[in-house]
Structure 1
Amino acid sequence: MRPRSDTLDLIADLKARNEPFVLATVVRTVSVTAAKAGAKAVIRSDGTITEGWIGGGCARAAVLKAAREAIADGEPRLISIQPKDLLDEQGLKPGEVREGVRFARNMCPSRGTMDVFVEPMLPSPALAVFGASPVAVALAELAPRFGLRVTVCAPAEDQGVFAEAAQRIEGYALDVESEGQRFVVVSTQGRGDEAALRAALSVRADHVAFVGSRRKVASLRAHLIEGGVAPECFDRLKAPAGLDIGAVTPDEIALSILAEILAVRRRDHRTPSEAASH
């Protein structure tokens, strides 16, 4: 096992590269266990333990299963790995979840108990902004404050209107696939609408929105379908973009779009009671 500093360096490197992984930390041990409280391991999305130590085969299967699930849904987990007799005393079965703790069986002769906190570290949600309109500029400026990693997609001559961005693409050739959540907003507003919308509808995204009127979208839809775009591609397009908050200025429109994106981001992580109260 390499020094703790190496583990921290790897974590920083994976975060910088926006690669999903899990940090598993042993938070409690009882009786004899291979790993002790404070031990950590970095688990990649393919299930490999790249760095650190959380014990041998007694714990590995349960932790790796939890790690895969955590990367899939973004939720942390607390796993308690216990011997069969201790589980039986508590009326527990392997795989059962009680009060937020998932229980697993320790198959090793050591008969120890180990609690492991499994924390997913997922890529920052991405926002691809197509176009260089005032709304696009406002979006690129405001989005990082909401934890979004911005990619600006605009012609080379328009890139200068954006102060900064995590990534810049000259034109609209955005990668078709992407790790983690990705949102796409087309805000060309009269300059390259068809090309930008065609590109936006061709990539994987959790949400695609167009800044423009319903009439304009209907016209673009007709032209693009005539040009070969499948009609069902438009089923996931939100137009006009943003929540209806009476927005008028570019900053206000950008805020309404970000509010809509936030609603999409959070909708899978709210309980029914939370959803009803907002």
Structure 2
Amino acid sequence: MTAQVEVLDLVARMKAAECAFVLATVVRTVSVTAAKAGAKAIIAADGTIVAGWIGGGCAKGAVLKAAREALADGEPRMVSVQPENLLAELGVSAGESRDGIRFASNMCPSKGTMDIFVEPVLPHPSLVVLGASPVALSLAAQARVLGYHITLAAPAADLAAQPDADTIIDGYRLGELNDAKRFVVVSTQGKGDEAALRAAVATKADYHAFVGSRRKMASLRAKLIAEGASAAAIDDFKAPAGLDLGAITPEEIAMSILAEITRERRRGQRAANQSASRE
């Protein structure tokens, strides 16, 4: 098995395991370089190269920096490592970006040029739905179409049919969840509200929401705080969940929640893309 095949095999396994990583690929070389076009490396979320090779220190620092940035914003980028005299001919400085390319200086004696494509591979965003209500089930089904990893937690006795979810938990003890950008929605709607909300409060997420009225949330808030829950954590919940679209049916309410989650998920990305397009 060649090194490149081993890298691609590990890519498949890391994707299946919902791991965040970067795939760096040398797409062009000029003059003498240690790695040649087609060379690949996998960079883990902690910044270590776990498989493959894209050359020595001449390119490594610039690629690892680009990898960290790519994992942070989810956007791929191109890195061009060139000797200083060629950068000067192009009128760019090391660290500068132009037309979507980040330039770096090659200080090695070889004085070669390498262009490396840095591609982040992120786990599917995680949607954790607590409850077996019609809104909960519709939310899980609609989110699957948008590429979310769905965890649905509810007492098995409350589920009339198999829900459309990747992971199904009997009850509200969530345990270990996949490591991804996470969104949590409590949609018990009268059955196990307090237990589900307690579990959701203890779950780290980029978005917390409760399907119910402000009055109901205020009542549950008082109960949980009396039990010792963090008021700040509870106040982080959006209640009622979803954008105000005038939704009435469970499907419409689920859609309004997904719209709100999408807005939160994409926050800042549009501005970043517009800024990159102007460079």
TM range (shorter): over 0.9
Cα 1:273/1:9, change in 2 over 3 Å:
closer
Matches within 5 A, 1:42-57: 42-57=42-57
C-alpha distance in structure 1 between counterparts of 2:31 and 2:88, whole Å: 18
1:94 and 2:94 matched: yes
Matches within 5 A, 1:92-241: 92-159=92-159, 161-175=161-175, 179-241=179-241
C-alpha distance in structure 1 between counterparts of 2:65 and 2:40, whole Å: 16
Cα distance, 1:112 vs structure 2: 0.6
C-alpha distance in structure 2 between counterparts of 1:179 and 1:95, whole Å: 31
Cα distance, 1:177 vs structure 2: 6.9
C-alpha distance in structure 2 between counterparts of 1:29 and 1:111, whole Å: 11
C-alpha distance in structure 2 between counterparts of 1:263 and 1:175, whole Å: 27
Cα distance, 1:244 vs structure 2: 1.2
SS at match of 1:92: coil
Q: Corresponding residue for 1:28?
A: 28
Say if 1:2 and 1:52, in contact at 8 Å, map to a contact too. no
Say if 2:4 and 2:39, in contact at 8 Å, map to a contact too. no
Cα 1:38/1:50, change in 2 over 3 Å:
same
C-alpha distance in structure 1 between counterparts of 2:14 and 2:123, whole Å: 9
C-alpha distance in structure 2 between counterparts of 1:236 and 1:270, whole Å: 24
Cα distance, 1:176 vs structure 2: 6.8
Q: What amino acid maps onto 2:30 in structure 1? A: V
The unaligned stretches of length 5 or more in structure 2 are: 275-279
Q: CA RMSD in A?
A: 1.9
Say if 2:18 and 2:178, in contact at 8 Å, map to a contact too. no
Cα distance, 1:123 vs structure 2: 0.7
Cα distance, 1:159 vs structure 2: 4.4
Cα distance, 1:107 vs structure 2: 1.5
Cα 1:33/1:272, change in 2 over 3 Å:
closer
TM-score computed with the length of structure 2 as normaliser: 0.92
Say if 1:20 and 1:71, in contact at 8 Å, map to a contact too. yes
Q: Corresponding residue for 2:277?
A: none
Say if 2:211 and 2:241, in contact at 8 Å, map to a contact too. yes
Q: Corresponding residue for 1:9?
A: 9
C-alpha distance in structure 2 between counterparts of 1:91 and 1:247, whole Å: 55
SS at match of 1:260: helix
Aligned residues: 274
C-alpha distance in structure 1 between counterparts of 2:110 and 2:27, whole Å: 18
SS at match of 2:248: coil
Mean Cα deviation higher: 89-98 or 224-233: 89-98
Q: What amino acid maps onto 1:43 in structure 2? A: I
TM-score computed with the length of structure 1 as normaliser: 0.93
SS at match of 1:143: helix
C-alpha distance in structure 2 between counterparts of 1:114 and 1:175, whole Å: 45
Cα distance, 1:252 vs structure 2: 1.0
Mean Cα deviation higher: 124-133 or 93-102: 93-102
Say if 1:129 and 1:187, in contact at 8 Å, map to a contact too. yes
